[in-house]
Structure 1
Amino acid sequence: MDSSTIGTAEQLRDPNYTPPLAKAIPLGIQHVLAMFVSNVTPAIIVAGAAGFGFGSNSPDFPELLYLIQMSMVFAGIATLLQTMTLGPVGSGLPIVQGTSFAFLPIMIPIVAGKGVEGLAALFGGVIIGGIFHAVLGLFIGRIRFALPPLVTGLVVTMIGLALVKVGIQYAAGGVPAIGKPEYGSLLNWAAALVVIVVTLGLKFFARGMLSVAAVLLGLIAGYIFALLTGMLTFDVIAGSWSKAAAFALPQPFKYGFEFSLAAVIGFCLMAFVSAVETVGDVSGVTKGGAGREATDKEISGATYADGVGSAIAGFFGGLPNTSFSQNVGLIAMTGVMSRHVVTFGAIFLIVCGLIPKVGSVIRTVPIEVLGGGVIVMFGMVVAAGVSMLSDVNWNRRNMVIFAISLSIGLGLQLEPGALQHVPDTARILLTSGLLPAALLAIVLNLILPEELSDESTEEVSGGMTGHGQGSLPKSEKT
């Protein structure tokens, strides 16, 4: 969409400007399309980890639909808090909120194999963690020093690495299908590959909306492939549609409330990471859309909205929210800074979430098709972390911090049995891999003397040497 037809250059940089409705509504829906798949995927993954049945005849089917429904409703509500503001809550900027992937490594161990019973502890953690997250808005600017690119880049990379296994399992046939003859079949992989190929093709060879919604369109292509090959039938779709209500409101404390120390600690620690991510997104929006730095009020307001939105979601069975980086890029691409455009998108998202039949259609997506999209999304999370790490000055000190944090974090995640004698709460937190890696990186970064940074050419294990920021080792003459 040509931005020159929407308003003047000065208007486009103004968050308070409202474009004509004929332009604003499609732009708002475009924001929803860009984040839609990423927003509902965590709910499906948590349901799978809990052991919910994925078929429309499963007794857990209504619970799965409800989790998808809440993902849409409370992403929309949290987005409204950002765009419309409520007192100090909200940035007053076009920030799109959505269900956070960052919390998945914490949520999966909490609910693993426990069915509906595991959700009470999960949502207790979401509520308390959300309140703690909101409190961070009071002093977010003063803790940023503890989270340089070395730490944030490592954390984002670890998030992606913790989840790539899920993508492969889904593409092969889903976690519940492990051990069955059809697991890893050529047909399963073909469905996932259709999604990956179409997504990459659109992302790199298309423009405009086709590129922005590449993952969504890739999933649609995989969905059609599943119908053509018999992996999915119209009877299944019709059955799922008929069993879903036409309208349903969120239910407070649907799954109860349970205080789990592991859940509370995990969500509170991850709140730091989410808060820093939001600060970066706010800065990205103001730089890309308005050509200026974000104000302290905008940063603290965005952090308040992150936490308040997550806490409210937890009361009704929704997962924690954070700002979505892909929509920051969309604002830079369209050149439209209007917060009211994103408001229209948020309203559209809420309406979809209040109609369970929308969730019923999403749930009929075969797990193999979803796996193709998840592989792309989680791979991009890892790539985003590596991109952040490119800003690090790779001297000996930083290499040691990264090496120890990554080795211990990833090692504990890959071999959880090594902690079988550790108390349950500590084991859940440590085997996530993410939290021990993040804590080690933060602590080591704070306590190791900066003087080590000057020794950038001293050899470390294996004969490797540290090099400058973003540089590669120079070839040496023999």
Structure 2
Amino acid sequence: MTEATVDLRASPDELRARLKNPDYTPPLAQAVPLGIQHVLAMFVSNVTPAIIVAGAAGFGFGSNSPDFPSLIYMIQMSMLFAGIATLFQTIGIGPVGGRLPIVQGTSFAFLPVMIPIVAGQGVAAMGALMGGVVIGGVFHFLLGTFIGRLRFALPPLVTGLIVLMIGLALIKVGIQYAAGGVPLIGTPEYGSLANWSLALVVVVVTLLLKFFTRGMWSIAAVLLGLIAGYIVALAMGMVSFANVGNAGWVAVPVPFKWGFDITAAAVIGMCFMAVVSAIETVGDVSGIAKGGAGREATEKEISGATYADGLGTFVAGIFGGLPNTSFSQNVGLISMTGVMSRHVVTYGAIFLIACGLIPKVGALISTVPITVLGGGVIVMFGMVAAAGVNMLSAVKWNRRNMVIFAVSLSVGLGLQLEPDALQHLPKTAQILLTSGLLPSAFLAIVLNLVLPEEVD
């Protein structure tokens, strides 16, 4: 850290120049709150994928099985390795790390691939998932050597469709959670007024804060909406703290917690999503450099950030964590605060690591009723789909591009909605194709490369 205090004699221009310098460190009294602010902006989005994967596997919310503590462990790992991966970015190791204020966390983008791999198979399926995460992390790391050369194959037509498909694939999960959770489908409690009322509290409070407040109140709208829903759930007697009392105070990550298996579906799916994640990171690094420092990102920063993505994912997979990538919501936070210091984000990373080593934090998060979480993910998953539509707005909608979009969307969404259409294919092919995301992305990339451009 190069600076420890603010020179009060510095001119406004000098102060602005310092704030745009990634190596500048604001005073501790400013740096720590700014770092915690970054954590609050990404916290819910970071732990939610672990909760959804655990629920899909069968040891998530509302489970009374002996595997339920595994959910707490997964939440811990989400926080711990988000912090560690963020340190890879901000501090760096050799060529690894963009050395920019990049916040890492578990991305929703991987969920459409991870859910079919573990669906209904309990802890036994987690070894195969971790095999995919580890190998995908290695592949992601290698992308750092030539990531710039892939950008030509992923114009807004392709990237927008991919992001849209991610959102569409997850919206069903949000509705199921808001109605009471996947395990409750077919029971009288599923879709009850009590469940929906909690979810609606979260949605309404989130919207009110997002659009009628400013600053941190608006940035942390989803988190505060969840807190509001949680308070209502407490008043309704729908929260149990039994698991908090049983959880320990300190725990360390366990290597190969879930075992390690290599399956074609997990490896292919994770490697494909590594490409998508790497392109997202390029966009985030570019956004940080432009919004925070008013300049273009360098090739060294882009490749270093991609290396850190891959290394963070690899290490997380070794200890039973999920893939890590850069978090886009924090890019906007840097533009808003005007503070480009990577060391500010380092303080946030240290806070995440501390939380990840305390099981009681994970246990407390697991007390949030699934319907409350459902309200939050309805907003978050809808925003993912909306982000895809926004990216597609930059596309020139001629006949060629409309055909590419139509075919890719129809095939991908159709296979997702009707998975039995592929019942005669091998299991690996079923898992990959019924995700919807992979066939849509594959078709969009190939068609965009082979179909001739229309002449005006």
The TM-score by the shorter chain falls in which range?
A: over 0.9
Q: Residue 138 of structure 1 aligns to a residue in which SS?
A: coil
Query: 1:242 matched to which residue of 2?
Result: 245
Secondary structure of 2:102 counterpart: coil
Q: Tell me which of 279, 285, 309 is aligned to 2:282.
A: 279
Cα shift at 1:54? 2.5
CA–CA separation in structure 1 for the residues paired with 2:304 and 2:257: 29
Write out per-residue CA displacement over residues 37-62 of structure 1, whole angstroms, 9 at most, x where no aligned residue.
Answer: 00000000000000115347531221
Q: Distance in 2 between matches of 1:101 and 1:307?
A: 16
Alpha carbons of structure 1 residues 230 and 397: separation in structure 2 relative to 1, 3 Å = same
Question: What corresponds to 2:159 in structure 1?
Answer: 152
Gaps of 5+ in 2: 1-5
Stretches (4+) displaced over 4 A: 3-7
User: Deviation of residue 182 (structure 1)?
Assistant: 1.1
Question: What SS does structure 1 have at the residue aligned with 2:325?
Answer: strand
What is the percent sequence identity of the aligned residues?
Answer: 77
Distance 2:63 2:42 in 1: 26
The equivalent of 2:176 in structure 1 is 169
CA distance in 1, matches of 2:122, 2:38: 33
Q: Give the aligned partner of residue 59 of structure 2.
A: 52
> Does the alignment pair 1:432 with 2:435?
yes
Runs (5+) with no aligned partner, structure 1 = 455-478
Contact 1:13 1:336 in 2 (8 A): yes
Matched, 1:180 2:183: no
| TM-aligned CA deviation for residue 389 of structure 1 | 0.5
**By how many angstroms is 1:27 displaced?**
0.2
Q: Letter of the aligned partner of 2:340 in structure 1?
A: M
1:140 touches 1:275 (CA, 8 Å); kept in 2? yes
| Alpha-carbon distance between aligned partners in 1 of 2:401 and 2:185, rounded to the nearest angstrom | 40
Structure 1 partner of 2:229? 222
Contact 1:195 1:222 in 2 (8 A): yes
Aligned with 1:122 (options 117, 125, 129): 129
Secondary structure of the 2:74 match is helix
State the match for 2:208 in structure 1.
201
Answer whether contact 2:249 2:359 (CA < 8 A) is retained. yes
Matched letter for residue 213 of structure 2? A
Code of the residue aligned with 1:171 in structure 2: it is A
Q: What SS does the aligned partner of 1:322 have?
A: strand
Q: What is the aligned partner in structure 2 of residue 459 from structure 1?
A: none
Q: Secondary structure of 1:392's match? A: coil
User: Of 327, 332, 339, which aligns to 1:329?
Assistant: 332
**Aligned twin of 2:3:** none
| Aligned-CA RMSD value | 1.4
How far apart, CA to CA, are the structure 2 residues paired with 1:291 and 1:152? 24
Task: Select the residue among 364, 377, 382 that pairs with 1:374.
Answer: 377
Q: If the length of structure 1 is used for normalisation, what is the TM-score?
A: 0.92
Aligned partner of residue 194 in structure 1, secondary structure: helix
Q: What amino acid maps onto 1:49 in structure 2?
A: A
Cα separation, 2, equivalents of 1:394 and 1:275: 26
Code of the residue aligned with 2:205 in structure 1: it is V
1:85 aligns with 2:92: yes
Indicate the residue corresponding to 2:395 in structure 1. 392
Whether the 8 Å contact between 1:405 and 1:437 is mirrored in structure 2 is yes
Q: Please state if 1:350 is matched with 2:323.
A: no
Distance change (3 Å), C-alpha of 1:332 and 1:117: same
Residues 422-461 of structure 1: pairs in structure 2 closer than 5 A? 422-450=425-453, 452-454=454-456
Deviations 1:194-231 (A, max 9, x none): 00000011011111111111110000000001011222
CA contact (8 A) 1:396 1:453 kept: no
